[in-house]
Amino acid sequence: MAKSLLFIPDISGFTQFVQSTEVEHSEHVISELLEVLIEANSEGLELAEVEGDALFFYKENEILTKEKLLSLVEKMYTAFYSHLKLLKNNRICPCNACAKAPDLQLKIVAHCGDLQFINVQNKRKPFGEPVIEAHRLLKNSVDSDNYFLVSECLSDLLGINKEMESSLYDFNSGQDDYDSKSIKYLYSKIDNNKLKLLPYRIPQKIEINSKPNIVFEKEFPVSSYELLEHITNYKFRHLWTDGVDEFKYKHNEVTRLGSEHVCVIGGKQLEFTTVTKDGKPSEIVYGELTVSPTPIDELYQFYIIKPLEDNKSHLKLELYYFVKNPFKKLLVKLLAERQFKKNINGAMRKLHEHLSLDD
């Protein structure tokens, strides 16, 4: 029987991250990172299991070449840290989960052996001693939380050794005992500065040199963070927004600059993108841009949240719209603006009622 590859990327710092941060956003961050790692699997490895903060991949009766394995590991690290950089630079949420996400790290363990399989709920899963060994190798004496570890049996098979010269990898030897059995391995700490991180779109802060067309202000009986969460987490939108048939958005994504969602109204789709603008140091500014509602060319709505006390905050909503055509601009001024005001007043009243009930 040909040997099979076992491959486990594991997010370091997961337990402390989840225990010390807001549960929902920490779940979203971890979910996003796991999806990023799955998408980076360019060698067709089978995903046997999502194990909380780790992914268990395997390649049945096949071992990747040294070049392909090392390239795959580099792709995983590149994708992981590119996404963390995006989360850091595009975040709008001040919660601990969003603030501490960039501190997460990644370790990857690769092993090989003769696999057996069992069926659980009609799904075929790897089974046997190599599976146990691969998972135990995650608990090792490497003095880092950011490394690639390859077991001796796999490194010998592929010709990976301490003499390898690479801009990213610098392997050292290690050994640990598991149930009276000693397992040797090679490991390389990963220097993130040597990764060529992937580019991403950096949204620019909006600068508007005119007064808002509509301004709404109201105090809410909740903290500024809770108010922001109910505005930016689109799963709550149906609780305080009337007339929308459906909200479409990425359910496992923490809203950040560049996030997109769609409001379906009467069969028409209004597409929104998250933006921001400068505010005062004590303020949280969340904005949305849409170019969907004709005859308006651009419509911005900014939610500016200021904490007052532990369980009280002030919301200022500013709405700006821009219409190039003078005739259409007049129509919007005479007809649409009144409807905008009605919708905003109704939505803010319902949001206040909803948060008051929760309180």
Confirm whether 106 is domain-assigned: yes
Residue 359: what pLDDT?
54
Q: Are residues 8 and 157 both part of a single domain?
A: yes
Confirm whether 93 is domain-assigned: yes
Q: Are residues 14 and 145 both part of a single domain?
A: yes
Q: Are residues 343 and 244 both part of a single domain?
A: yes
Confirm whether 209 is domain-assigned: no
DSSP state of 334: I
Q: Are residues 225 and 120 both part of a single domain?
A: no
Confirm whether 207 is domain-assigned: no
Q: Are residues 180 and 289 both part of a single domain?
A: no
Q: Are residues 160 and 88 both part of a single domain?
A: yes
Q: Are residues 157 and 218 both part of a single domain?
A: no
Confirm whether 11 is domain-assigned: yes
DSSP state of 162: T
Q: Are residues 10 and 150 both part of a single domain?
A: yes
Confirm whether 292 is domain-assigned: yes
CB contact set of 154 (below 8 Å; sequence gap of 6+): 5, 63, 110, 111, 112, 160
Q: Are residues 43 and 181 both part of a single domain?
A: yes
Q: What is the pLDDT of residues 159-208, one digit of tens each?
A: 999 988 899 999 999 999 988 889 999 999 999 999 999 998 888 789 99
> What is the chain's pLDDT, residue by residue, as a tens digit (359 residues)?
689 999 999 999 877 887 777 788 998 999 999 999 999 999 999 999 999 899 999 999 999 999 999 999 999 999 999 999 999 999 999 988 899 999 999 999 999 999 999 998 888 899 999 999 999 999 999 999 999 999 999 999 999 999 888 999 999 999 999 888 899 999 999 999 999 999 988 887 899 999 999 999 999 999 999 999 999 999 999 999 999 999 999 998 999 999 999 999 988 999 999 999 999 999 999 999 999 877 899 999 999 999 998 899 999 999 999 999 999 989 888 888 999 999 999 999 999 999 997 65
318 contacts 338 by C-beta, under 8 angstroms: no
Q: Is the peptide bond before 295 cis (omega within 30 degrees of 0)?
A: yes
Structural domain containing residue 349: 214-358
Confirm whether 205 is domain-assigned: no
- Which of 150, 166, 194 represents a domain boundary (last residue)? 194
91 contacts 68 by C-beta, under 8 angstroms: no
- Which of 137, 163, 194 represents a domain boundary (last residue)? 194
CATH label of the domain that carries residue 266: 3.30.530.20
Confirm whether 141 is domain-assigned: yes
- Which of 194, 223, 244 represents a domain boundary (last residue)? 194
This prediction's pTM: 0.91
Residue 203: what pLDDT?
82
Q: Are residues 265 and 340 both part of a single domain?
A: yes
Residue 204: what pLDDT?
79
276 contacts 92 by C-beta, under 8 angstroms: yes
CATH label of the domain that carries residue 41: 3.30.70.1230
Q: Are residues 95 and 149 both part of a single domain?
A: yes
b/e 203-226 (16+ beta carbons within 10 angstroms → b): beebeeeeebbbebeeebebbbbb
The tally of domains found in the chain comes to: 2
Q: Are residues 292 and 221 both part of a single domain?
A: yes
100 contacts 88 by C-beta, under 8 angstroms: no
